[in-house]
Structure 1
Amino acid sequence: MATGAETVPFDPDLAARVRAWIDDDPDAQTARHLADLLDLAGESTDDETMRIAARQELADRFAGFLEFGTAGLRGALGGGPNRMNRAVVIRTAAGLVRYLGDVLGADARPRVVIGYDARYLSDTFARDTAAVVTAAGGEALLMPRFLPTPVLAFAVRHLHADAGVMVTASHNPPQDNGYKVYLGGRVVTDAGQGVQIVPPHDAEIAARIAAVPSVTSVPRVQSGWTTLGEDVVDAYLAAVGSLATPGTPRDLRIVTTPLHGVGGELVARVLAGAGFTDLTVVPEQAQPDPAFPTVAFPNPEEPGAIDLALALADATGADLVIANDPDADRCAAAVRDPRAASAHGADSARAAGWRMLHGDEVGALLGDDVAHRLAAAGTTSGVLASSIVSSRLLARIAADHGLAYRSTLTGFKWIARVDGLAFGYEEALGYCVAPDVVRDKDGLSAALLLAQLAARVKAEGRTLVDVLDDLAVRHGLHLTDQLSARFADLAAIGATMDRVRSAPPSTLAGSPVVSVEDLARPEPGPDALPPTDGLRLLAEDGTRVVVRPSGTEPKVKCYLEVIVPVTGEGPDPVGDARRTARARLDAVRDDVAAALGLEG
C-alpha cells in the first residue's frame, strides 16, 4: 500500500531548475550526482527515507545562490547554486571581471592574480577563473602551485594587480572551499590597495554575478594565461626575511605544524632563512592533505588541533610551538607556562604546563615588539590597530610608545586599510606585522617575529610568559574570553539581539554598567566606525562586553574582557591578579548568559 509521502509529487518547479542546472553544469561529476539525487527524489526508489532525504538535499542545494559578500564565497562542495562548484566559480569570475571592466573602462585590460591552496578542487577553480579572465580580455596571472594566502595577498601589490583571487576555505572543515577577492592596482589606490573587499565593492560585484544568465554564456579559453614562476615566492620570502634583525639570538628549539595545510614548507624557509635551525615539524601533519585526517577541525583554536604539536614539544624539550592554519594566514603559539603546570594533567604536555597563548596575548606580544622596533628606528608615526572585539591592551601599548591607535570592525578587510598602519591584529589568531609587505593577516611573518622575540628573551633567561607578565604589571592584567550561543533557527538570532538591546545587564560582576553603545547607530565623529549589528557595554570597573552575531555561523558571540591592576608584594602578584580576573570574568560570563536567556 502506498504511503502518503509516496503519493506526494516532487515539486515540478524544483525538478525543472535542477534539470536546467545539470544541462548547464561544466562538471560531469557534479552533474551526475545531481541527476542521481533527482532520480531518488522522484519515483525511482521504494525507499521513502531516501526519497525524502534526496528532496531535502535538492531543496537546500537550490535555495538560492551561494551568497557573495566581503568574504567572497565560502560553502560546502557539491552541485547546485547553493554550493561551491565549477559552475558557481565560473559565474563569480565572470561577474568579477565584468566589474573590473566597468570600473577601468572598456579599453583597459584588468590584471588579476590568482592563488589557490591544496583543498579539494582548489586548483580547478583557480584555472577556471584564469580561463574566464583571459577570455574576457584580461591578464590572468596564475600562481605557480598551491601556496599560502599571504603569498597571494603579497602578489596583488607586488605585481600591481587590479584584483586578486584566493581559492581557499582557510580553516573550515574538509568538505568546504571558498573564494576570496582582493582589489588593488588601478581599482583601489588608497590605503585599502591590496586588501580584501569591503562595501560597496562586494554588492557591485554580486550584482554582476547575478546578471550572468548561464555558465554556457560565459566565454572561456583553454590556455593563454600566464603561470607565474617561483620568483614571486622568492620575492615574498625576501620581503618577509627583511623583518629579521641581524645579529640577534637564534638559540631556540621550535616545533611547527601546518595542520595538513600549505604553510609547512614556507614557514620552515622563513625561519631557517632568518637563522633558526633547530626546527621540528609534526610529521603526521607536515604534508598538505585536503582530508585533514588527524584533526576534527583544521583550526588551531579548536580543542585537540595542536595536541600532536604539544606532545612533540614536550618530548623534544622545545621552547616554542608555532601552528598555522591550513592557508597559513593565521598563527598560533604555545609555550610552557609554570602557572599552568599540573600533576593531574590528562597528558604529559599539559601536565608540564604547555598551553596555547590566547590570540590577544600574541597580539600584545607582537604589538609591543613592533612598537619597540619603530622606536629603535626613530619612528613615532605608525598606527597600531585591532578589532572592536580584541583586547584593549594594544591601545595602552600604543599610548605608552607615543603611537596612535585605531579600533576597527572585525576582519582584516577593515584592519588592513587603516591609514598609516604599522601593526594590526584580531583575537582570532590573525596578525599583520608588516603592512608594507602584506595588507592582510600573515601567519608566516608573524611566526618569524614571534620566534625572534622568544629567542631574544631566552638569551636573557626569560620566556614569553615573562614578557606578558611585564605588560600586565605596566598596563594591568587584561583577561579575555568568549561566550557563544548557537541557534538552529536563524530568526532567533535577531530576537536575541533585540532582547539584549532592550534589556541589557545593569551590572557586570557587580560593577554598574555605565555605557551601552548600539554599534548599529554609531556616534558621529572622525573615528566613527561603520554601522554594524552589535552592542558594546562598559562597566564602571572597566569591564567590557561586546555582543554581536557571527558573520560565518548561526551564533551570537559575546566577547568579554576584564582588567585587574597588578598590585601586592606576594611571591606572584601577576598570578594573584590573574586569579582575581578569572573569577571576575566567570561572573561576567554568568551575567551575560542570563541576558541572552542561557541560564541553566
Structure 2
Amino acid sequence: MSILTIPTQPFSDQKPGTSGLRKKVPHFQQQHYLQNFVQSIFDSIDVPAGATLALGGDGRYYNREAIQIILKMAAAHGFAKVLVGQGGILSTPAASCVIRKFNTYGGIILSASHNPGGPAEDFGIKYNTANGGPAPEKVTEAIYARSREISQYRILDAPDVALDVLGLSQLGDMQVEVIDAVADYADLMAELFDFSAIRALLASGFRIKFDAMHAVNGPYAREILVNRLGAPADSVMNAVPLEDFGGGHPDPNLTYAHELVDIVYGEHAPDFGAASDGDGDRNMILGQRFFVTPSDSLAIIAANATLIPAYRNGIAGVARSMPTSAAVDRVAAALNIPCYETPTGWKFFGNLMDAGKVTLCGEESFGTGSSHVREKDGLWAVLCWLNIVAVRQQSVEAIVRAHWAEYGRNVYSRHDYEALPTEAANGIMQHLRAQFGTLPGSTLGSYQVASCDDFSYTDPIDGSISKAQGIRLLFTDGSRIVFRLSGTGTDGATVRLYLEAYEPDAARHCLDAQDALSEMILIAGQVSELHARSGREQPTVIT
C-alpha cells in the first residue's frame, strides 16, 4: 500500500454553512470534490501523532463511498486509528458521545441532517472538534480558506474496508475499529435518566409511538425504547434506515412527519408521540392530539430538570438560539440562572457548555440538548419528556398547560418559504434593512415598533463576533418578528419568518397560534413585501 499525492484544483463553493458543507449528491460526486474538502479539514487541524478519529454518517445515499474515501485519506495523514460506526452509520449525537468517551481528536460526520436523501438529493460533511461539538467558526473559516488554495491531496492506495462486522482491521499503518455506537449511546442515556420510572410508566399502559423516519435513529430507538424500556416492538415505526429515507423528507415537523401526526391525532391515539430527523439530532414531541412547540419543550424541560437524575442538583444555565421563543428566559429568571441568546447553529453553544455556563440548550428548529454531549440530541429530548411524565403522572398536554398557567404562554410560529430564488430572498432581507431608520417608533396595526436590528453576537468566552444573524423587529409589548435566511438548505434559498407574542392571560392560552398571531402575520408580509418578492402566497411549511 502506497500513499498517493493527487494534483487538484480548488472549488469555489466549499464554504461550510450552519452545520458543515451541504450539496446535492452529484455535486459531491464530482472528481476530487469530497477529497478536496477532507484534505482542507486535515490541513486545518494539525493532526498530532497517535491521534484517533471518529467517523460515521446518517446512512444516506453516498455515505458508504464517502466513508471509504475518508478512511484512506485519514491513513495518509498520520492518524493511528479511526473509530467507525457499524455499516458506516453514526447518529450525530452518538458521534459526539464517541468523540468524548474515547477522547478522539474530533470526528467527521456525514449528514445533511433533515434534508432529503437519494441519488439526486442532499449530502453533507462536517468536522466536530475534540469536545464533541461542531467546529467553531474560526475552524470552519480556516477550512474554507484552505479549500480555496488547495493544489493536491493525499490518499492511501488500498482496498475498501469491511464496515459491517465489528472489530479491528488494518489500513496501511492505521487501525480501523468498527464499533457498536448504539450500545455506547444507550449506556449513556441509562446513566442520565430514570429508566426504572420510565419502564414502569410504559408497563402501566402508557402507549408511545416513535417515528424514526427511516433514518439513523431507528436502531437506537429500538435498543432504548423497546429492548431496555420494554415498549412494544411496534412502538417504533419506520425503524429501518434507508439511503433515501423511504422517499420521505426526514424532518420531524407537522408537515413532513404526517404519518405520525395522523396516528397521534387519530382514533385510539397513543399517549405520546415523537419523531427524529435524518441524523438523529432533532426531535418533535406530541401528546395525544397535542403538539409541543420546540421552544416550549426547551422551557418545560428546564423547569422540570430536577425530576431527571442527571440534573437533580439543578442546572447551571440555559441557552437558546435568537429565533427561539423567550419561554425559557422566563424559566431562567424564575430559577435565577443565566440565559444566553446566540445565533442559530449548535456550534455557538459549545463554548458556553465547555465553560460550565449552561447545561441545557435549544433551538426552535426542533433541536434540544444538554452538556452530556456537544450536539443536539433527539432521543435525549424524548427521554426527558418520558422521565418527566413518569414522575409527574400527567399527560403531555396537562404538563404544557400547567407550565403556561405558571409562566404565561409565548405564542409562537415559524413560516418557511423554501427553495426561493437566491436573488429574491436576498432582496427581502435588503428591503427590511433599508427600513431600519424609519421603523423604530412607528405603529404597525396595533403594534408599536420599539427597535429593529440585524442580530449580532459576541461570544462571552472567546470574544468572537458573529454579525448579520437575522433581522429582528421588536415591539413595545415584547412581541417580535424575525426574518432569517437559512444556512442548511442546498436548493435556492429559504427565508424563515418567526412570530412571537407573549400571552399572560390563561383564558387565551387555548387559542390556535395562527389565529392568535394573525395580525402579526399580516404585518410581517406587508413590511417585508414577502409575498410580492417571493412570488409565494403561502409558506412551504408552518410550525
**Shorter-chain TM-score tier:** 0.7 to 0.9
Aligned equivalent of 2:114, options 171, 174, 180: 171
Query: Any idea what the Cα deviations from partners look like across 1:256-286, whole Å, max 9, x if unmatched?
Result: 1110112112112222465342452465x22
Paired position in structure 2 for 1:41: none
Query: Any idea what the Cα deviations from partners look like across 1:157-197, whole Å, max 9, x if unmatched?
Result: 1121122101112221122111121011xxxxxxxx22101
Aligned equivalent of 2:91, options 136, 148, 153: 148
Query: Any idea what the Cα deviations from partners look like across 1:97-148, whole Å, max 9, x if unmatched?
Result: 22222xx56xx34432111222112022112111101112123332233231
Paired position in structure 2 for 1:98: 43
1:392 and 2:392 matched = no
Paired position in structure 2 for 1:30: none
User: Within 2, Cα distance between the matches of 1:525 and 1:86?
Assistant: 40
1:138 and 2:79 matched = yes
Query: Any idea what the Cα deviations from partners look like across 1:411-457, whole Å, max 9, x if unmatched?
Result: 11112331322111101111113x13x11011121121112223334
User: Within 1, Cα distance between the matches of 2:348 and 2:100?
Assistant: 17
User: Relative to 1, partners in 2 of residues 1:431 and 1:414: Cα closer, same or farther, differing over 3 Å?
Assistant: same
| Higher strand residue share | 2
Identity %: 22
Aligned to 2:187, the other structure's residue is in SS state: helix
Paired position in structure 2 for 1:126: 67
User: Within 2, Cα distance between the matches of 1:312 and 1:517?
Assistant: 40
Paired position in structure 1 for 2:360: 423
| Shift, 1:586, TM fit | 1.1
Aligned to 1:334, the other structure's residue is in SS state: strand
Matched residue type, 1:256:
F
User: Relative to 1, partners in 2 of residues 1:64 and 1:279: Cα closer, same or farther, differing over 3 Å?
Assistant: same
Aligned to 1:142, the other structure's residue is in SS state: strand
| Shift, 1:372, TM fit | 5.0
| Contact 2:93–2:375 (Cα < 8 Å) also in 1 | yes
Aligned equivalent of 2:25, options 74, 77, 81: 77
User: Within 1, Cα distance between the matches of 2:461 and 2:278?
Assistant: 39
| Shift, 1:556, TM fit | 2.7
| Shift, 1:314, TM fit | 4.1
Paired position in structure 2 for 1:287: 240
Matched residue type, 2:101:
H
Matched residue type, 2:73:
V
User: Relative to 1, partners in 2 of residues 1:407 and 1:541: Cα closer, same or farther, differing over 3 Å?
Assistant: same
1:532 and 2:464 matched = no
Aligned equivalent of 1:181, options 124, 127, 136: 127
Query: Any idea what the Cα deviations from partners look like across 1:529-577, whole Å, max 9, x if unmatched?
Result: 632342222211110122222223413322110001125xxxxx2xx33
| Contact 2:83–2:179 (Cα < 8 Å) also in 1 | no
1:238 and 2:187 matched = yes
1:542 and 2:442 matched = no
User: Within 2, Cα distance between the matches of 1:143 and 1:238?
Assistant: 16
Matched residue type, 2:485:
P
User: Within 1, Cα distance between the matches of 2:240 and 2:261?
Assistant: 14
Matched residue type, 2:298:
G
Q: CA RMSD in A?
A: 3.1
| Shift, 1:206, TM fit | 2.1
Aligned to 1:411, the other structure's residue is in SS state: coil
Paired position in structure 1 for 2:455: 519
Paired position in structure 1 for 2:53: 112
| Contact 1:513–1:538 (Cα < 8 Å) also in 2 | yes
Aligned equivalent of 1:204, options 136, 142, 158: 142
Aligned to 1:280, the other structure's residue is in SS state: helix
Paired position in structure 2 for 1:47: none
User: Relative to 1, partners in 2 of residues 1:488 and 1:63: Cα closer, same or farther, differing over 3 Å?
Assistant: farther
User: Within 1, Cα distance between the matches of 2:338 and 2:417?
Assistant: 35
User: Within 2, Cα distance between the matches of 1:534 and 1:308?
Assistant: 32
Aligned equivalent of 2:253, options 301, 304, 328: 301
User: Within 2, Cα distance between the matches of 1:501 and 1:109?
Assistant: 50
1:329 and 2:281 matched = yes
Aligned to 2:55, the other structure's residue is in SS state: strand
User: Relative to 1, partners in 2 of residues 1:118 and 1:525: Cα closer, same or farther, differing over 3 Å?
Assistant: closer
User: Relative to 1, partners in 2 of residues 1:113 and 1:487: Cα closer, same or farther, differing over 3 Å?
Assistant: closer
- Runs (4 or more) in structure 1 with deviation over 6 Å come to 521-529
| Contact 1:241–1:273 (Cα < 8 Å) also in 2 | no
Aligned to 1:286, the other structure's residue is in SS state: coil
User: Within 1, Cα distance between the matches of 2:106 and 2:196?
Assistant: 39
Matched residue type, 1:194:
G
Matched residue type, 1:446:
A
| Shift, 1:86, TM fit | 6.8
Query: Any idea what the Cα deviations from partners look like across 1:492-547, whole Å, max 9, x if unmatched?
Result: 33332232123255335512111223325989999996323422222111101222
Aligned to 1:200, the other structure's residue is in SS state: helix
Matched residue type, 1:540:
T
Aligned residues: 494
User: Within 1, Cα distance between the matches of 2:333 and 2:276?
Assistant: 30
Larger-gyration structure (1/2): 1
Paired position in structure 1 for 2:164: none
Structure 1 unaligned regions, length at least 5: 1-23, 27-61, 185-192, 337-353, 568-572
| Contact 1:142–1:226 (Cα < 8 Å) also in 2 | no
Aligned to 1:441, the other structure's residue is in SS state: coil
| Contact 2:95–2:109 (Cα < 8 Å) also in 1 | yes
| Shift, 1:311, TM fit | 2.4
| Shift, 1:236, TM fit | 2.2
Aligned to 2:125, the other structure's residue is in SS state: strand
User: Within 1, Cα distance between the matches of 2:223 and 2:292?
Assistant: 24
Structure-1-length-normalised TM-score: 0.75
User: Within 2, Cα distance between the matches of 1:165 and 1:523?
Assistant: 25
User: Relative to 1, partners in 2 of residues 1:598 and 1:142: Cα closer, same or farther, differing over 3 Å?
Assistant: closer
User: Relative to 1, partners in 2 of residues 1:495 and 1:126: Cα closer, same or farther, differing over 3 Å?
Assistant: same
Aligned to 1:455, the other structure's residue is in SS state: helix
Aligned equivalent of 1:89, options 34, 38, 45: 34
| Shift, 1:397, TM fit | 0.8
Structure-2-length-normalised TM-score: 0.82
User: Within 1, Cα distance between the matches of 2:281 and 2:235?
Assistant: 18
